[in-house]
Every structure is written in C-alpha cells, then in structure tokens.
C-alpha cells in the first residue's frame, strides 16, 4: 500500500477561498452526485438540484388544479368550512414555495 504524501501547508488560505467558488452550474441545476451522503442530513438541499424543486412546483400546480377542477362541483355542494378559493390558494402557495426553493437553490447557494 503506497504511503500518503505529506500534507501541503504552503497554500495560503486566501488562495484556497478564492478558488472555492461553490457549486458549478450543472450541480446547481441537476444536483451533484452524492458520494458522502452519510455525512450530511438526509433532506439536505445540497443534493437537490434547482430543476427538481421547480419541476415539483410546476407538477404540484398543474396536478392540484386539475384535481380541484374535477371535484369543484362536489366541493361546492358540500357544507365545508373551506371552499374552492382557499383550496386554490393552498395549491398555489405550495407550488410557489417549491418553485421558490428551486430559485433559491440556483441563485443563492
């Protein structure tokens, strides 16, 4: 088994920090390949790409609104506390939150 090389301490910290710019563009869009997942929490944003969150937001909006439209007459007949408007608002809020997480992941992490 080969011996480990001695650690290099001759690189100044400022140089290392300048070279470390964070994620690359493909890592932000799709997400990096998880290699050391045991060191990170299971729901870490590190391994989730921005497109995944944006896609979930779009899917939530489209499928939620279509399901709500299919049951609109049934909901209108029922004597419930929550009508169509608040349900639409809930779907739109969830979709916007997921889409916003995707934008946050792409631009700010």
3-state secondary structure 69-86: HHCHHHHHHCCCCCCHHH
Q: According to the model, what pLDDT value does residue 38 have?
A: 47
Neighbouring C-beta atoms of residue 25, cutoff 10 Å: 8
DSSP string over 38-54 = GGS-TT-GGGS-HHHHH
> Per-residue confidence of the chain (109 residues) as pLDDT tens digits?
567 766 766 777 777 667 666 667 777 777 765 554 445 555 555 556 788 899 999 999 999 999 999 999 999 899 888 889 999 999 999 999 999 999 988 888 7
Q: According to the model, what pLDDT value does residue 108 have?
A: 81
Segments making up each domain of the chain, as ranges: 45-109
CA dist 20 and 9 (Å) reads 17
């Amino acid at each position: 088994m080969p011996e480990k090389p001695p650690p290099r301490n001759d690189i100044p910290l400022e140089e290392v920090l300048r070279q470390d710019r964070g994620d690359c563009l493909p890592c932000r869009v799709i997400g990096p390949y998880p290699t050391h997942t045991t060191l990170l929490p299971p729901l870490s944003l590190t391994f989730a790409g921005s497109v995944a969150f944006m896609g979930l937001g779009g899917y939530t909006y489209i499928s939620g609104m279509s399901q709500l439209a299919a049951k609109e007459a049934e909901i209108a007949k029922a004597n419930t506390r929550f009508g169509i408007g608040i349900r639409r608002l809930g779907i739109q809020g969830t979709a916007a939150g997921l889409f916003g997480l995707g934008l946050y992941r792409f631009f700010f992490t």
